[in-house]
Amino acid sequence: MAFEGLSGKLEQVFKKLKNRGKVNESDVKEAMREVRLALLEADVNYKVAKDFIAGTTERCVGAAVMESLTPAQQIIKIVNEELTALMGAENSSIRFSSKPPTVVMLCGLQGAGKTTHAAKLARHFKKTGRRPMLAACDIYRPAAIEQLKVVGAQVDVPVFEMGRENPVTIAKKAVAHARDYGHDLLIVDTAGRLHIDEELMAELEEIKTEIAPDEILLVVDAMTGQDAVNVAKSFDDQLGIDGVIITKLDGDTRGGAALSVRAVSGKPIKFAGMGEKLDALEPFYPDRMASRILGMGDVLSLIDKAQAGLDEKEAERMLGRLEENKFDLNDLLSQMKQVRKMGSFGQILSMLPGGSKVTDEETAQGDRQMKMMESIISSMTKRERERPDIINPPRKRRIASGSGTRVEDVNRLLNQYKQMQKMFKSMTGKGGGKKGRRGISPEIMRQLEAMENMPL
């Protein structure tokens, strides 16, 4: 889980402060020393950690904090604000050209996930109504062109390729092709190397000169820690990048690269790769990431995920069934599949306040539980799903045998279903079933958004 190690250590630091009630300057400095150690252990750049602690300490020893009735909460608030500022204060997205196509040039070292993230980026913008095209300019790595064609087909985005022609020529003709065929976004996948060298940079500079990209994005691997930060600075010094896509952030328990890139290179992280699947790409929001680090969750991103995976027709149908009190096990199965689209149980929990405290074993258990529930419902007949009240002991034994579970598991599912019926009935009572943002009930939206302000 991203930032797992750092989150755990910061939680311990703030727990000590809370237990003390009133704090003095000595308490603050002791806590900041522990925060600094936690940052360094998370592989945050030494100078970045030093400057962060200096600025945070200065704010924390002010009168507003020392004289506050809840100084620990004030300190957490300051740390949250400083972490947000460290990562860039606000989300930075792609700047689209007024004259299509907008050209985005991807660069980076081998192994960072550049080709896969070209397709992820194309998919992301296709869902917003853009008409992207991919250009295969990596002619050196074996099967690189074929890989781009495969992932391009998976997201239903065309790939422009000319075999092993000169990459500069390919890039120029790709721009012309995109313009001629109405593609308003061209993503150019350039060649990577095992390390930065003059030949690589010369080729990238020539491509940049010829196609004048609107954005140059560097793809870096979060798992490489400080190496990722050094690569970002080197590419920016020699090529001039506009932003960073940081990959494998879901598997980086330390998070030092994400916390250091902006401060060292001066360039924002624009997107974060949160998994291997082609839909596992998120816009990078510094404030939301700071909340995750401090264990406050990221409910806004969870809502975004829910909306992105939401079938609006299905949502309207479901709301109608809820209002008419006709919610059955077919509907429950449909909703579980919608939730699975949002990611694993662990990914969803990590976005909820306190979710970082959940262990890997507990999240794995949650995934197994959800799969078991799907299996149980799938073993029922159509009539049983529509009328769960007819499921008697013999039917329960048959369902348990068919799903490879126990009768107790079937009973548990039926009890959970009854509880959900009661909850949905209370949420969608008279006047409560009107749609909110993109089909989500206003009451549910209020409850989710209220979580964003829950205390640690």
C-beta of residue 107 within 8 angstroms of C-beta of residue 53 = no
CA dist., res. 112 & res. 272, Å (int): 12
The first and second tokens of residue 81, run together, are: 């604000």
pTM of the model: 0.68
Q: What is the structure's pLDDT at 158?
A: 95
CA dist., res. 134 & res. 125, Å (int): 12
Torsion of CA 293, 298, 301, 307, to 10 degrees: 160
C-beta of residue 217 within 8 angstroms of C-beta of residue 105 = yes
- DSSP code at position 186: E
Q: What is the pairing mode between strands 132-137 and 185-190?
A: parallel
CA distances from 170 to 99, 163, 165, 241, 385 (A): 21, 9, 7, 21, 56
CA dist., res. 167 & res. 169, Å (int): 5
Helix 46-60 with 256-265: angle, nearest 10 deg: 90
Domain 102-296 has CATH 3.40.50.300: yes
User: By three-state DSSP, how is residue 44 classified?
Assistant: coil
Q: What is the structure's pLDDT at 424?
A: 67
Options 1.10.3720.10, 3.40.50.10140, 3.40.50.300, 1.20.120.140; CATH for 4-87 is: 1.20.120.140
Per-residue pLDDT of the chain (456 residues; tens, 9 = 90+): 556 778 888 888 888 887 776 778 888 888 899 999 988 888 888 888 999 999 998 888 876 676 776 777 888 888 888 888 888 877 788 889 888 899 999 998 888 889 999 999 999 999 889 999 999 999 988 889 999 999 999 999 999 999 989 999 999 999 999 999 999 999 999 988 777 778 888 899 999 999 999 999 999 888 887 788 888 888 898 889 999 999 888 766 567 788 888 888 888 899 988 888 898 888 988 888 888 787 665 555 555 665 555 556 666 676 677 667 777 888 888 877 777 766 666 666 665 655 555 566 766 777 788 889 989 999 999 999 989 989 999 999 999 999 999 999 999 999 888 887 777 666 655 444 444 444 444 544 555 455 445 444
All structural domains of the chain with their residue ranges: 4-87, 102-296, 303-451
- Which CATH superfamily, name and number, covers 303-451? Signal recognition particle, SRP54 subunit, M-domain (1.10.260.30)
